[in-house]
Structure 1
Amino acid sequence: MMPWNDLRAGDCCGRLEAVSDGYYCESCDFFVHKECGESSELIEHTSHVGHTLRLHSSVYATNCHLCGMSIKSQCYRCETCFLFNLDLYCARCPPPNVVYLPKTHHHKLTLVKAWIDFDCDANCGKVGDRFPYVCPVCDLTFHVDCVWHPSEVKHPLEVNHSYHSKHPLKLFIGQLPDYSDGKCRLCERKIDDRLFYHCSSCNFSLDMRCVLHPPPKSLLDVKTHEHTLTLLPRLLSFACNACGLNGDRSPYMCVQCDFMIHQDCLGLPRLININRHDHRISRTSVLGVVDSVCGVCRKKVDWTCGGYTCHKCPGYVVHSKCATRLDVWNGKELEGLPEEIEDTEPYVVINDTTIQHFSHKEHYLRLNATCILREENKRCNICTHPISLHSFYGCMDCAFILHKNCAEFLKSRWHVLHNERLTLAPSNASYIVCDACGIIFNGFMYHHEDKKLDVRCGSVSEPFLHPSHPHPLYYVSLDRVNEICNGCNENASPVLKCVEEDCVFVLGFECATLPQVVKHRVDDHPLSLCYGEKATGEYWCDICETKTVPETWFYTCKDRQASLHPKCVLGDFSGLMPGSTINVSSMSYEVVLNSSVTRPICSWCKSHCMSPIILRMLETSETYACSIDCVAQLSDI
């Protein structure tokens, strides 16, 4: 990122600063205030006393627990309780403990540093569930951002701009005029309605980026086109020769070649890696592959336009826009860099039945393909699930054991949920929450920095074939929004989707990675996953003794006389290795099998523990937790 001065709100904290210098990434159009960009990794903050806050990327939509504003890109998060998020601005400039604002209220207002549900007396219409300002005299409560407004930068009321010489542009604050399309005339970005410049006579609007840093009137970039390109700063419908998509304003054009291109297609990289393909893909001006489908969005590609292709895989093509999405590409241009050949093979073959696995180099592992294991409680050291009826590799000298499938997981791989290569490694904490399915686990993981997936989710690849559906599934979502999973009929994100026309089948990662066959004490025979069925009668779960919904997935026995909730069969702790210890807040728990004749009673919900794996508090003999909710409550006591 380069040093930069900008008038717009920062992409770091979303605020307009009185000092507008900072850092800018031109390829991503990402502006960071200087103070935000130089934020410390760890801080102690008066709003959350007793716990250290760590700087995190904000992957999911969340709000600052202090001011209530939406967090843009990064925030400080408490890693002890996982429930407190602080945006970068409040970390640097927290609202004062006491404010006196006579225009708002005639008494002093005090900041309450606790989460309170309240109705804001400013009548703003927003839900109150954050730190509020209160007037103890009048018993009034206000949102922080309804009464406290930090000073922001002052901008000139009028500017003369080179791309609109007819009239000066006036500063607008607030909503765009109804007749405006809401976009900047030059760059087509949606205008921040808090601050922009506009000419009412010509219906000409510019955002703050283009006021301060307008695009050049002409340019020569041989990587884009061999001739000089000229900007046409007007509303104009055109088809971009670089990406094939339509545009409606301000393209760069080569009159000699009848070539038009979006401004944001000018800097397209020449050679990149994407998380949907194992090989590098390169930019080409004409794809030339008829009836091809994009490897990211799975939609048809116009073969006469530019895009990305793989030289090793004929027919593999990707739209320019899809290949350079932030969730697909890591932003690294690889042109001129030698290709690194990574050793991804997880084991060395010794002979037809013997291997040396990278996770257990001290001994050889021997294949057992008969699927017969006398010890029912043996579990795979990679996924922590029972060996059960699967082929496995067992150590010839110790108790180390792996499913055959788990032994074949690559040491590193690309994954659709992250734009950097993930590495297979043992978990580095007492437990980890999978970023894909939300299950807690302590076996091996696929990880890169903050992205951590359990091996079942981490091994998902495209096309994903599932026996519940006749078509392959893909991860095509640009935004991680909740969708209804066909397996559990509940909201899920991220999801795998069918891309066939008129097919709306969706699977969340938790349902997509459910084991097809499991053993449970409720039946002597293995239980099979059933993908729902239409029925008129009532179905009951024999474990929790409540009704099941037959249209959703359930486990059933050999004679199909049972319909068992997947959560009842697996429990909340199926990803934890029995015998291990996990730490929750200041409490330590042993992961134990619920295999005794008499099921223990949960110390919180007071019901018999039904799950096959439960937690027992260390240094006690009778304190058990049967679920995540129960252990959270016990740890807060």
Structure 2
Amino acid sequence: MSLSPQWKVQLVQGKFHVTGKIERKNKEKGKCQPENRHRLYLAKGEEASHFFCKDCNGEDHVECEKTPVEVKHLLHPKHSLQLVSQKSSIIQTRKCFCCDEDLKKIFYYCTGCDYAMNIACAEKPPVLFIDRPKWHADTLALFPRQAFLTCNVCAVADSSSPIYMCPPCDFVVHQRCTGLPRVIRISRHRHRISFTTSFDEGDWSCGVCRRKIDNDYGGFSCIKDGCSYVAHSRCATQKNVWDGIDLEGVPEEIEEEEVEPFVTISKGVIHHFSHQNHHLRLDENRDRIYDENKLCQAYIMPIYFGNFFSCMQCDYILHEECANLSRKAYNPIHPHLLSLMGGNDDVRKYEDKCSACPWPCIAGFSYECRKEGCSFKLHVQCATISEPLVHGSHIHPLFLTSKPGEQRSCSVCKDSRLEFTNETFNCIECEFALCFGCATLPQKVRYKHDKHILTLSYGKETSTMTYWCEVCEEKVNPKDRFYMCDDYCCVTLHIRCLIGKDLYMKPGALCFSNDGKELRVLPNNHMSRPFCPGCRKRCPYKIFMVYTRLIFCSISCIRDF
């Protein structure tokens, strides 16, 4: 069947906006090119029965049956639905009102109500009665209008899904909620949780969104005696929290015996999995001289303070905490088990990004998902930060409450970072949000020309002080973040001047782009600093990069060149 959408729409902050009328691309009739004819798969597993021709928008294909450009549907009787085409977006998605699946490229839409339905749903009549004994003993009847009725299963009153009800029992359920699981495991809790139709008296708050739970409606609670963990139905089944597997009737799996990250050889001497050829010895000397060139091979950051393990035969070192990192771990922002990877010198792609922060994963340790088809990975810095996060940038504790597809701008760096992740640490008292890039910046550091510890200062909006960076000798904005010595010397430095612009990039690392071009990271420790053709300045940071035989001071310079 031929498709002839009439309008172009674009999704902006969850709502569609009409951007213009669709015109045929080729003004000559009968000159349609086969490569401009695109098939549309209406449902998973089915063959493509519809097509869209860019050249004529379906006008010239008189031999084909045409999909109606306007329809009336029982689930939306007030207005007609028009056939539209949406601009594709990898960041934002919208669900079909009827089937709760992602909307296809072309679908039916009501501009007045912002109501959207896939073609496959519009072509079949709705089911008027359903039996869902798992949720309610009686037959449920379709309520054929959009209505803000509170669902007994998810405790939400919205009109984004068809509603089924049992009037005598005062039972209401969204169509999409009838497919919710009964027993699940989520990334936010170590035990299984199961659905309950209501909660006991008391003040309950959701372990995912941290908001209050209405005791009279359904949700999930921990199956273990004595454990008080609870969650809203929708929060517990978010795709960044739940792996999509219903465990009802599935016996509890036997936990694998934890593999230790190292073997103790003698007191203070270990054999770590990441450094197979040599042994590491614990260094507890607190009076050692700070060396900014000694990098922890897990963090790819200098050893500012604290104990560390150093190789007895080479320059390999690890923070004591990094040496003790678990080989397997769950993380709150991913539903699958993650494995600790590190210690190998394999060549990586420089496009490989941490799934939480903006920095690439081309060196150091990382926690990676080994599930087939899943490319989720985290720097150890991002994997080991936890909630509630008490952070110097904000007066309230912060929590990981982001929902899939939710867009928040970081309140500190003012960068939405949407190309990297949607996850932020959020305040439940106000609108403050903190991205992982800012949350994992070291709060205390050392500087080679200062014997004191420097602290990350978050500046003051009303400050009139004048500060100068010790490295670049340029002004430091007192309203921005910077590192400062709180002792007598009052040394101040830009963040990028002290720890760099592209973090966790190991000097000597080699990686390749997707098109096979080599990128090499080198230390910027020569008498003359190289010139970057990207920003057209001398490279000011501790490292520079060689890419396509040109020298760049940062990844952003490579992208902008």
Which of the five TM-score ranges fits, normalised by the shorter chain? Answer: 0.7 to 0.9
Summarize the Cα distance change of 1:460–1:213 in structure 2 as closer, same or farther, 3 Å threshold: farther
Letter in 1 for 2:484: T
Summarize the Cα distance change of 1:149–1:616 in structure 2 as closer, same or farther, 3 Å threshold: same
Is 1:547 the counterpart of 2:458? The answer is: no
- SS for the counterpart of 2:497 is helix
Choose from 245, 250, 265 the match for 1:332. Answer: 245
Output the TM-score relative to the length of structure 1: 0.65
Equivalent in the alignment of 2:337: 421
Give the distance between the partners of 1:471 and 1:387, measured in 2 at CA.
30
Equivalent in the alignment of 2:295: 379
Equivalent in the alignment of 2:368: 447
Give the distance between the partners of 1:17 and 1:342, measured in 2 at CA.
56
Deviation at 1:403, TM superposition (A): 1.0
Choose from 487, 498, 502 the match for 2:412. Answer: 487
Please list the CA deviations of residues 294-344 of structure 1 after superposition, one character each: whole Å capped at 9, or x if unmatched: 111111111221111123472211100111122322212122333342455
Assess if the C-alpha contact under 8 Å between 1:471 and 1:498 holds in 2.
no
Give the distance between the partners of 1:404 and 1:205, measured in 2 at CA.
55
Summarize the Cα distance change of 1:255–1:453 in structure 2 as closer, same or farther, 3 Å threshold: same
Summarize the Cα distance change of 1:576–1:497 in structure 2 as closer, same or farther, 3 Å threshold: closer
Deviation at 1:354, TM superposition (A): 4.9
Give the distance between the partners of 1:287 and 1:336, measured in 2 at CA.
23
Summarize the Cα distance change of 1:100–1:205 in structure 2 as closer, same or farther, 3 Å threshold: closer
Equivalent in the alignment of 1:315: 228
Give the distance between the partners of 1:582 and 1:163, measured in 2 at CA.
54
Is 1:572 the counterpart of 2:501? The answer is: yes
**How many equivalent pairs are there?**
494
Letter in 1 for 2:240: D
Please list the CA deviations of residues 568-596 of structure 1 after superposition, one character each: whole Å capped at 9, or x if unmatched: 22223431222332345665454333334
Summarize the Cα distance change of 1:205–1:490 in structure 2 as closer, same or farther, 3 Å threshold: closer
- Residue segments in structure 2 that go unaligned for 5+ positions in a row: 12-24, 36-52, 86-93
Assess if the C-alpha contact under 8 Å between 2:402 and 2:426 holds in 1.
no
Counterparts in 2 of 1:134-533, with a 5 A limit?
149=57, 154-155=66-67, 172-173=82-83, 196=108, 208-234=119-145, 237-247=148-158, 251-255=163-167, 257-288=169-200, 290-312=202-224, 314-340=227-253, 341-343=255-257, 346-347=260-261, 350=264, 353-360=268-275, 364-371=279-286, 376=291, 377-396=293-312, 398-426=314-342, 429=348, 431=350, 432-440=352-360, 441-448=362-369, 449-478=374-403, 480=405, 483-493=408-418, 494=422, 496-501=424-429, 503-521=430-448, 523=450, 525-533=452-460
Assess if the C-alpha contact under 8 Å between 2:522 and 2:543 holds in 1.
yes
Choose from 62, 78, 101 the match for 2:27. Answer: 101
Equivalent in the alignment of 1:32: none
Deviation at 1:443, TM superposition (A): 1.6
Output the TM-score relative to the length of structure 2: 0.73
Give the distance between the partners of 1:343 and 1:599, measured in 2 at CA.
53
Give the distance between the partners of 1:562 and 1:522, measured in 2 at CA.
9
Give the distance between the partners of 1:378 and 1:262, measured in 2 at CA.
58
Deviation at 1:256, TM superposition (A): 5.2
Summarize the Cα distance change of 1:214–1:592 in structure 2 as closer, same or farther, 3 Å threshold: same
Equivalent in the alignment of 2:540: 610
Letter in 1 for 2:227: P
Give the distance between the partners of 2:335 and 2:65, measured in 1 at CA.
36
Assess if the C-alpha contact under 8 Å between 1:484 and 1:506 holds in 2.
yes
Deviation at 1:566, TM superposition (A): 1.1
Give the distance between the partners of 1:218 and 1:230, measured in 2 at CA.
5
Letter in 2 for 1:320: S
Summarize the Cα distance change of 1:469–1:272 in structure 2 as closer, same or farther, 3 Å threshold: same
Q: Which moved more, 1:339-348 or 1:525-534?
A: 339-348
- SS for the counterpart of 1:388 is coil
Letter in 2 for 1:101: K
Give the distance between the partners of 1:437 and 1:161, measured in 2 at CA.
45
Deviation at 1:552, TM superposition (A): 2.0
Please list the CA deviations of residues 446-501 of structure 1 after superposition, one character each: whole Å capped at 9, or x if unmatched: 22332232221222332223244343212222255654434334444545344342
Give the distance between the partners of 2:65 and 2:366, measured in 1 at CA.
46
Deviation at 1:222, TM superposition (A): 2.9
Letter in 1 for 2:458: Y
- SS for the counterpart of 1:433 is coil
Give the distance between the partners of 1:197 and 1:613, measured in 2 at CA.
52
Give the distance between the partners of 1:205 and 1:631, measured in 2 at CA.
41
- Residue segments in structure 1 that go unaligned for 5+ positions in a row: 1-6, 8-14, 19-67, 72-98, 112-144, 176-181
Please list the CA deviations of residues 130-189 of structure 1 after superposition, one character each: whole Å capped at 9, or x if unmatched: xxxxxxxxxxxxxxx99664679723589898889xx999774469xxxxxx99997799
Higher relative contact order structure (alpha carbons within 8 Å, sequence separation ≥ 6): 2
Deviation at 1:209, TM superposition (A): 4.4
Counterparts in 2 of 1:25-44, with a 5 A limit?
none
Letter in 1 for 2:305: L
Give the distance between the partners of 2:218 and 2:384, measured in 1 at CA.
32
Please list the CA deviations of residues 597-621 of structure 1 after superposition, one character each: whole Å capped at 9, or x if unmatched: x242325356443212223579x9x
- SS for the counterpart of 2:322 is helix
Alignment RMSD, CA only?
A: 4.6
Summarize the Cα distance change of 1:222–1:471 in structure 2 as closer, same or farther, 3 Å threshold: same
Give the distance between the partners of 2:96 and 2:376, measured in 1 at CA.
35
Please list the CA deviations of residues 487-545 of structure 1 after superposition, one character each: whole Å capped at 9, or x if unmatched: 334444545344342x3332121111111233445645443211223411333333333
Give the distance between the partners of 1:241 and 1:571, measured in 2 at CA.
52
Q: Which moved more, 1:341-350 or 1:313-322?
A: 341-350
Letter in 1 for 2:238: R
- SS for the counterpart of 2:179 is coil
